[in-house]
Amino acid sequence: LSAVGDCAGILICSILGTTWYDTTKELFPASNIVLTKDQGESIQNLIDGKCNVIQGEQYEAPEVVVRGFGYDGPYGQGKTSFTKDPLAMVTRDGDPEFAALVEWVLQTLMLAEKQNITMMTADTFAESVEFFGKDMFQNALAAVGNYGEMYTRHLAPISPRLEINDINDGETTGLLYSHPLGKVDTVGPGPINGGVIERILQRGFLRCGIPGATQDATSDMIKRVELDMEFCRALSASVFQRTPDNVSFQSYSDDDDIYLALENGDIDVYAGGEVDVGSDFLLPGLSFSNPYFHEGGKAFALVTQEADEQWADFVYWVTMATIYAEENGITQNTSNEMPLVNLFGTGLERLLRDAILAVGNFDEMYRRVFGQNAT
């Protein structure tokens, strides 16, 4: 991108305070940017000739929306994305039960589409357990339908559904997706008194629970546990500042035993917990990282106690860092390109860099465990 040649007269309406503006000011000089307060002002400026380019999410800048404001000039929409702003529902810290309810209602909407269960057949969806009421999932679907029905009803007329918003079919769409890190310069509290991070630091090592080998364990299952262990080493490096081996691995042959160990505080994290709609209800009080391995319709993640939100967030972002690093071409040798973050206090500002320095990005971890030619 440049503002020379055919683009010398480009005037981009950009909304101050957005990631769109943050990216635009890195690509174009200030003389090519017209600041606005919202999208309505940007479109009005386009109509008035004050700018000749506007920005927006897929659903905010399609031609049908711009025409609806009264613009009647030539219009085309680019296909290259320059920012990454996934939408989510947000709840307050301090009420993990409600946060879990919100998360699993969202998962229900997507799982129902995958299973071809619609608003009209909501009563065929699996019942939840008594933790939130047996009909919770079914009631949600009966009210709004599955994710595809919602998208068709609200967004399809203005914004065709892209692959990134499709339900994964196990073949054509990927499942590893890093979330934007956001405002990493925000200074958060250090390890909370009596919290898991403080206890790990005082103890001098991380206690990581992993699945034990069983008689019917395949070589791929054993390899997956090795990947689980890599993530625990990344956590160790993040907590203990570039020291990946301050880990005590504790093996359990039964899921019930490992979850009990987590509940009792015998381990700090369970590496390799299976993520599904039932697990979080049958075992309330758990927090799952973003899944990092998918196989045979199953997803595996790091699991912590939900009660310690700081530790759960820490584990989540260390896991996410490996995927973020791969997406951004950051490797073990270039780990200093990872941002410094102060969200867990200034003493842990290198946590993302130290994780990647210790184990590399996700691709490096994957190939180290499964082989250089693994796919």
Length, in residues, of the chain: 375
Q: Closest by alpha carbon to 56, among 30, 29, 23?
A: 23
Q: Closest by alpha carbon to 165, among 22, 255, 57?
A: 57
3-class secondary structure, 186: coil
Q: What integer pLDDT is reported at residue 308 of this predicted model? A: 92
Question: Amino acid letter at 371?
Answer: G
Q: What integer pLDDT is reported at residue 282 of this predicted model? A: 45
Q: Which residues have a Cβ under 8 Å from the Cβ of 198 and sit 6 or more positions away?
A: 191, 192
Q: What integer pLDDT is reported at residue 55 of this predicted model? A: 92
Q: Is-contact 89 106, C-beta < 8 A? A: yes
3-class secondary structure, 53: strand
Q: Measure the CA–CA gap between 302 and 330, rounded to whole angstroms.
A: 22
Q: What integer pLDDT is reported at residue 292 of this predicted model? A: 93
Q: Closest by alpha carbon to 79, among 61, 101, 91?
A: 61
pTM for the model: 0.81
**What sign does the dihedral 240-301-105-134 (CA atoms) show?**
negative
Q: What is the DSSP letter of 168?
A: P
Q: Closest by alpha carbon to 309, among 281, 285, 275?
A: 285
Q: What integer pLDDT is reported at residue 281 of this predicted model? A: 44
Q: What integer pLDDT is reported at residue 87 of this predicted model? A: 87
| First and final C-alpha spacing in the chain | 33
Q: How many CA atoms, within 13 angstroms, populate the side-chain half-sphere of residue 224?
A: 23
Q: Is-contact 352 322, C-beta < 8 A? A: no
Q: What is the pLDDT along the chain (375 residues), one digit of tens a residue?
A: 555 566 778 999 999 988 899 889 988 999 999 999 999 999 999 999 999 999 988 888 888 889 999 999 999 888 788 888 888 899 987 787 788 788 888 888 988 998 999 999 999 988 765 556 778 889 999 999 999 999 999 998 888 888 888 887 666 556 788 888 877 888 999 999 999 999 999 999 999 999 986 556 677 788 999 999 999 999 999 999 989 999 999 999 888 899 899 999 999 999 999 886 544 444 567 888 988 998 877 889 999 998 899 999 999 999 999 999 999 999 999 999 999 999 999 999 999 999 999 999 999 999 999 987 766
Q: What integer pLDDT is reported at residue 153 of this predicted model? A: 94
